[in-house]
A and B are shown apart, each in its own frame.
Chain A
Amino acid sequence: MADVMPTTAPGKLILLERIPPPVWVIGLVLLVMPAFASNFVLYQIFGWSFILGMIALSLMVLAGYGGMVSLIQMTVGALAGYVVAILGTSGVTDISLGWPWWLHIPIAILIATLFGTLVGTLAVRTEGIYTIMITLAIAAAFFYFTRQNYGIFNGYTGFNNVIPPRLFGIDWRQSVPFYYLTLGCAALSYGAVVWMARTPFGLALQGVRDNPRRMSALGFSVTAHRIAAYAFASVIAAVGGILLVWQNAQVVPGTAGIPQVIDILVIAVVGGLRRPIGPFIGAIIYTVLSVFSSDILHAFGMSGERFKLVIGLGFLAVVFFSPDGVLGLWEKYKARRDENRDPLLGGGR
């Protein structure tokens, strides 16, 4: 699916004609990126952006289509990473079981999905801000649990040397293969989300978001749709989590610490929670800021450690001025431009 990034619905060629030209251009640029971008840019900026974008995308599914802001997505991803480290190979040989990749990766996704669904089952009993608090509290519990449990999660040190399997003789941790791996996964999950939003399930989910009482009067189970949304989002978060663990070659309690959990929310909100592309835009802004923050801050004569301040102020500004994130700003600009245009003749007035 990587060749039609970023918009496609699997198996429906007719849809390809509806894809606007800018998307083709972006897809093409992303595909030939390795030809001109440095390895650092490919691995640290784009690889990381795609991964964070996927995890934030799973939050976008829940928040944008389901109306539930869940802070558990990073934890679901980290759990998948942990399972990969425990069942697969890692530097901690007395815990890791060393199962083959075709066994431990599906099991990791399955376990993380089960966990996410379970949390969802608990969280859908509540609404709005309660959901945020409950998922935040469960995420914190997971963080403390992994930090204190040495039997399974290896406590404070976690697992190091968790690397992707050598499939087809390729070292997937090299910059170019890893770039394509993350690009492919991100495109697939993007496509899956776009497709899901148009299925009867996705439409019903959006109906549940807009008016749960009416939907339940129409015979839809509100709870079942919400829990199913958690399950769907958990799969994406789990894949993202595994990729994240492979990228860092390690998984530690801090992988899903409170700041990281909040970062996912920041990314999704800054990008925009309305459309699936938003989280990826947010992720690119976040990674660029975090990688180059020290340079940017030095340019303004400040110490490079104040990265969080920049992120926090940027986040505040976005939430203050455009609740729909950067995408919302773009749409506002477009709406204003269209307003100034003569409806009959086109062009400026």
Chain B
Amino acid sequence: MGTLQNLSTRHPIWTLIVVVLVVGFAWLILAPWPPGLEQAMGRKRVFLNAILSGITLGALYFLVASGFTLVFGLMRNVNLAHGSLYLLGGYIGYGVVEVTGYWLLAFPVVFIVVGALGLLLQHQVFRRMEGEELRQTLVTIGISIVLADLMLWYWGGQSYQVLSPSWLSGPMTLPLISSLRSNGEAVYLSYPQVRIAILAAAIVIGFAMWFVLNRSRLGMLIRAGVDDRDILAASGVKIQYVFLAVFAFGAGMAGMAGIIGGTFQSLSPGEDTRFLLASLVVVIVGGMGSIPGAALGAVIIGLAEQIGLVYAPTYSVVFTFLIMAVVLAFRPQGLLGAQR
């Protein structure tokens, strides 16, 4: 933690402000609110719900955006069909759950199917136009138009919801005080179990990705490829295989995120662009090509969206884009992006 110490000695005032903010935020979440505060900001339960929904939504955004940012970081390839892969994964997952009745089974099936589609895309489309960024972008736009219409054709315009399994449905009680009864007894917050499970899964997946990237040979290759693709290729690594693996993984992640999105929200035409935009904003805010950046950006955007939805419903969508504009104006490479 030497870097943290460095940071705090270099910017003592900023560090103090951040610490005060973090402590104040922790107090807002953990302590029962005094009546004056409840009057000013509404019930604590509403606030806690907004925070938790924001974080769980951030978890979903992270799952979608992590593949996007990884693909971009390695191949400098903006896959604007990423949202379509998300929606396709959701639809296929819905079908699997409907047919077999096993929610968990949908994940490997979707990962394999959408991942295979990703392999196909990388092998047949992107390899042919390596280095032509604009052309790749245009092709992915074309693919997303075609995929969107094919999905509309097959699944129609209605919205679907993936049924969560019985062992995940229903609420669970969290060790967070939502209010105090008149006799001083604390009332604890209850929250949908499935969302907490998804949050936990996203954290596990995030750490697993971090581990693979930083501690394994494949991760070493990927990081080397992000830094300098040409030198890596020149040193004898079959970089096309690394590309294929990363693209398939990113596509598979987007597909699995589709099942999760279909479970706690719904699947309908138009969700593909919504999640494409969400991933765009998340990676712009967090920094292109950075997994921790995607996590940070996802949580910020998720929180901004949900808190905005509760406290300023008309302009909640605008908040996210405002954050993006501010980040762009002051730190164009994103919060955790590398300076290029």
**Residue of A136, A262, A313 touching B146 (CB-CB under 8 A):** A313
Say whether A141 contacts B317, CB under 8 Å: yes
Interface residues in B27-62 (C-beta closer than 8 Å to A) = none
Say whether A312 contacts B142, CB under 8 Å: yes
User: With A308-B149, A309-B149 in contact, do A319 and B332 touch (Cβ < 8 Å)?
Assistant: no
User: With A144-B317, A145-B317, A308-B149 in contact, do A134 and B284 touch (Cβ < 8 Å)?
Assistant: yes
Q: B190 interface residue, CB < 8 Å from A? A: no
Q: Which residues of A contact B288 (CB under 8 A)?
A: 130
User: With A129-B134, A137-B321, A306-B149 in contact, do A149 and B142 touch (Cβ < 8 Å)?
Assistant: no
Q: Output the least CB separation between A121 and chain B (Å).
A: 9
Q: Which residues of A contact B153 (CB under 8 A)?
A: 305-306, 309
Say whether A312 contacts B146, CB under 8 Å: yes
Q: B143-174 interface mask toward A, CB cutoff 8 Å, 1 = contact, 0 = none?
A: 10110111011000000000000000000000
Q: Output the least CB separation between B330 and chain A (Å).
A: 10
Q: Which of B135, B142, B143, B320 has the most CB of A within 10 A?
A: B142
Q: Which residues of A contact B193 (CB under 8 A)?
A: none
Say whether B145 contacts A122, CB under 8 Å: no
Q: A25 interface residue, CB < 8 Å from B? A: no
Q: Which residues of A contact B106 (CB under 8 A)?
A: none
Q: Which residues of B contact A125 (CB under 8 A)?
A: 328-329, 332
Say whether B143 contacts A137, CB under 8 Å: no
Say whether A312 contacts B145, CB under 8 Å: yes
Say whether B328 contacts A122, CB under 8 Å: yes
Q: Which residues of B contact A134 (CB under 8 A)?
A: 284, 324, 328
Say whether A128 contacts B134, CB under 8 Å: yes
Say whether B138 contacts A269, CB under 8 Å: yes
Interface residues in A99-151 (C-beta closer than 8 Å to B) = 122, 125-126, 128-130, 132-134, 136-138, 140-141, 144-145, 148-150
How far does the alpha carbon of A140 sit from the alpha carbon of B273 in the complex, in Å? Answer: 10
Q: A320 interface residue, CB < 8 Å from B? A: yes
**Residue of A122, A141, A315 touching B318 (CB-CB under 8 A):** A141
Interface residues in A292-319 (C-beta closer than 8 Å to B) = 305-306, 308-309, 311-313, 315-316, 319
How far does the alpha carbon of A266 sit from the alpha carbon of B139 in the complex, in Å? Answer: 10
Q: Which residues of A contact B314 (CB under 8 A)?
A: 148-150
Q: A69 interface residue, CB < 8 Å from B? A: yes
**Residue of B134, B273, B281, B320 touching A258 (CB-CB under 8 A):** B273
Q: B325 interface residue, CB < 8 Å from A? A: yes
Say whether B78 contacts A308, CB under 8 Å: no
Q: List 28 A-B contacts (CB under 8 A).
A: A69-B137, A122-B325, A122-B328, A125-B329, A126-B332, A128-B133, A128-B134, A129-B137, A133-B280, A136-B277, A136-B280, A137-B280, A144-B317, A145-B318, A148-B314, A258-B277, A306-B153, A308-B148, A309-B150, A311-B145, A312-B143, A312-B145, A312-B148, A313-B146, A315-B138, A316-B142, A316-B146, A323-B135
Q: A265 interface residue, CB < 8 Å from B? A: yes
Interface residues in A241-294 (C-beta closer than 8 Å to B) = 258, 262, 265-266, 269
Q: Which residues of A contact B281 (CB under 8 A)?
A: 137
Q: B210 interface residue, CB < 8 Å from A? A: no
Q: Output the least CB separation between B157 and chain A (Å).
A: 10
Q: Output the least CB separation between A50 and chain B (Å).
A: 24
Q: Which residues of A contact B273 (CB under 8 A)?
A: 140, 258
Q: Which residues of A contact B138 (CB under 8 A)?
A: 265, 269, 315, 319, 323
Query: 3 closest pairs, A vs B, by CB?
Result: A312-B145, A141-B321, A316-B142
User: With A148-B317, A308-B145, A312-B142 in contact, do A140 and B137 touch (Cβ < 8 Å)?
Assistant: no
Q: Output the least CB separation between B65 and chain A (Å).
A: 12
Interface magnitude class on chain B: 35 or more
User: With A134-B328, A136-B277, A148-B317 in contact, do A319 and B139 touch (Cβ < 8 Å)?
Assistant: yes
Say whether B284 contacts A137, CB under 8 Å: yes
Q: Output the least CB separation between B323 and chain A (Å).
A: 11
User: With A132-B78, A262-B141, A269-B138 in contact, do A138 and B321 touch (Cβ < 8 Å)?
Assistant: yes
Q: Which of A136, A266, A312 has the most CB of B within 10 A?
A: A312
Q: B14 interface residue, CB < 8 Å from A? A: no
Q: Which residues of A contact B133 (CB under 8 A)?
A: 128-129
How far does the alpha carbon of A152 sit from the alpha carbon of B139 in the complex, in Å? Answer: 37
How far does the alpha carbon of A5 sit from the alpha carbon of B101 in the complex, in Å? Answer: 65
How far does the alpha carbon of A306 sit from the alpha carbon of B142 in the complex, in Å? Answer: 15
Q: Output the least CB separation between A327 and chain B (Å).
A: 15
Q: Output the least CB separation between A348 and chain B (Å).
A: 33
How far does the alpha carbon of A101 sit from the alpha carbon of B111 in the complex, in Å? Answer: 58
How far does the alpha carbon of A323 sit from the alpha carbon of B132 in the complex, in Å? Answer: 10
* Other 13 A-B pairs with CB < 8 A, given A125-B329, A134-B324: A125-B328, A128-B134, A129-B133, A133-B284, A136-B277, A137-B281, A137-B324, A141-B318, A145-B315, A258-B273, A258-B277, A308-B152, A309-B149
Interface residues in B88-133 (C-beta closer than 8 Å to A) = 132-133
How far does the alpha carbon of A303 sit from the alpha carbon of B281 in the complex, in Å? Answer: 36
Q: Output the least CB separation between A272 and chain B (Å).
A: 13
How far does the alpha carbon of A294 sit from the alpha carbon of B146 in the complex, in Å? Answer: 17
Interface residues in A140-175 (C-beta closer than 8 Å to B) = 140-141, 144-145, 148-150
Q: Which residues of A contact B284 (CB under 8 A)?
A: 130, 133-134, 137
Q: Output the least CB separation between A151 and chain B (Å).
A: 9
How far does the alpha carbon of A138 sit from the alpha carbon of B280 in the complex, in Å? Answer: 11
